[in-house]
Chain A
């Protein structure tokens, strides 16, 4: 039992850490907010002045903003769909006893250990390159015209690369969830005359619901800020075909040196992320309670 005295002491002891963490968060946030109301371009230093909501006006009315917003949503939703469905299938497969199960499990998890930049480079140069890539060779071997993935379907290609990276995570979480399912429930369902598909829909899927929610929540947080994969492969192009919000902000502030505009974009992104977070928390809260 903590006494009043020891609790006060504990608060005193942890306060430096708490203050440091708070400062760590609050100062950049406050500065971003402040910059977003300035006309602040690194090309013309010393000319900063207060311009109110003009930065926001420009950012929100920029046609690239809507393209980026759509791309962000497509990217997040696309990867979520692929990883949740793929992860469930892989989990079902890995749950079966088969020869070499241990090795296969490790291999399935391996992509998670590869850095995003590296995996994007490997995909770009070794698989999707229209001249030297493995896919190009495959197409040629089949007598087809090689397909330039990153030029012709840039967003879909990035969705593919990112899904490849996140599939292990989804698989791992869903596999553990599947293994915690009481075998007697499945046997009871079997006795009750449920064929495999019914058992999957009525017993396994509801059991997995919680794990799927966790996968969606965690992945969404990370997928909203995908950056390295885009930078390495398409640079947001062609045009804005594969530019997401993060990348748009990067272009504003670091390629066009417009710190003010970039900060406004950052604030918009924070607000959007929070809206998503609130929805997700609602959904999770409901799913985790039951």
Chain B
């Protein structure tokens, strides 16, 4: 079981309130991802759940038990740190065994669990090495192994993949998702990576300055962002936000159209503009279109191979049913 409930949880460092009172429920077995810009309090929130930081107010319940003042060890949670925080002077085996040793698990049971974890994480050949002799990805797996063997009621990850290179990140992302599918244990995962959030999460929590902006399934956030912040934050590249007369035509203060929902033509369309920089990714090309009179630049997604060059004139037409409308406070209309 691993149901975590935050009830009006608040955190202040001295006079600075980093997290204003906040409510959140994480259901048992859910994969929840916290996203938000740097410094918005993602790590702090995770550390509050872990018990590494004391709350300034409110209540944290784990499996309906009040855990607000419980020390970290008693909460039954396991954490994977961004720097992995492996014990450098212990072998991989000892690292993984450490939490069990502290819990007084019998030796043969320890060995059994280490074997199982090592096999699941492809670490069998490295058990007698020191962390210093491992690659980043292997260290990451050791850190996960150390978390698994405790059989926690929930895993907490703080940007676990941010120190890895792009290829490895994709691999580890899959491994963690598979792990979740297999263990069905609650996972709380902090990241600022769009793709990680969208692909791994059952539920995404978007934070800004310690406040929850929106909670929902990845597609829900993508399809109906509750305000302009979430609209701009979820999706890559960012949604185009347009204000002024064009927005007023749609009875809104601001309208938003995602780059992938705009059709491009060299003959005619709704908005005229001039091509600026184009980013070729192979499968896609992102065009930055200027001089539309709507915004500084509009980003548009077109197919991989397009014959458009800087300075060319193009016409853009948004898909009518994919236009998001927001009011003066930035809140979604309809």
Chain A residues within CB distance 8 Å of chain B:
182, 184-185, 187-195, 198, 202-203, 206-207, 209, 290
Contacts and interface: CB of A to CB of B under 8 A. Distances in A.
Contacts of B87: 185, 188-189, 202-203, 206
Contact of B79 (A182, A191, A202): A191
Contact of A187 (B52, B98, B99): B52
A195 B103 CA distance: 11
A191 B50 contact: yes
A99 to B, nearest CB: 16
B274 to A, nearest CB: 50
11 contacts: A182-B85, A187-B79, A188-B79, A190-B72, A191-B78, A192-B98, A192-B99, A194-B102, A203-B87, A207-B89, A209-B89
Contacts of B78: 191
A191 B103 CA distance: 11
A284 to B, nearest CB: 17
A192 B81 contact: no
A274 to B, nearest CB: 31
A194 B81 contact: no
Given A185-B86, A191-B78, 15 more contacts: A184-B83, A185-B85, A187-B52, A187-B81, A188-B146, A190-B71, A190-B73, A191-B52, A191-B77, A192-B150, A193-B99, A194-B73, A194-B98, A202-B98, A206-B89
Given A193-B73, A194-B73, A202-B98, A188 B85 contact: yes
Contacts of A188: 79, 81, 85-87, 146
Nearest to B146: A192
Interface of B: 50, 52, 71-73, 77-79, 81-83, 85-90, 98-99, 102-103, 146, 150
Contacts, number: 61
A192 B81 CA distance: 12
Given A189-B98, A192-B98, A290 B89 contact: yes
Contacts of A187: 52, 72, 79, 81, 85
Contacts of B52: 187, 190-191
Contacts of A193: 73, 99, 102-103, 150
A188 B83 CA distance: 11
Given A189-B98, A191-B72, A193-B73, A184 B85 contact: yes
Contacts of B88: 185, 207
B128 to A, nearest CB: 15
Contacts of A290: 89
A195 B104 CA distance: 13
Contacts of B89: 206-207, 209, 290
A282 B81 CA distance: 36
Q: Which of B83, B102, B103 gathers the greatest number of chain A CB atoms within 10 Å?
A: B102
A211 B312 CA distance: 66
Contacts of B98: 189, 192, 194, 202
Nearest to A199: B102
Contacts of A203: 87
Nearest to B52: A187
Nearest 4 Cβ contacts at the A-B interface? A193-B73, A192-B99, A188-B85, A184-B85
Contact of B81 (A184, A207, A209): A184
B83 A192 contact: no
Give the residue among A184, A187, A192, A195 with the most B Cβ atoms within 10 A.
Answer: A192
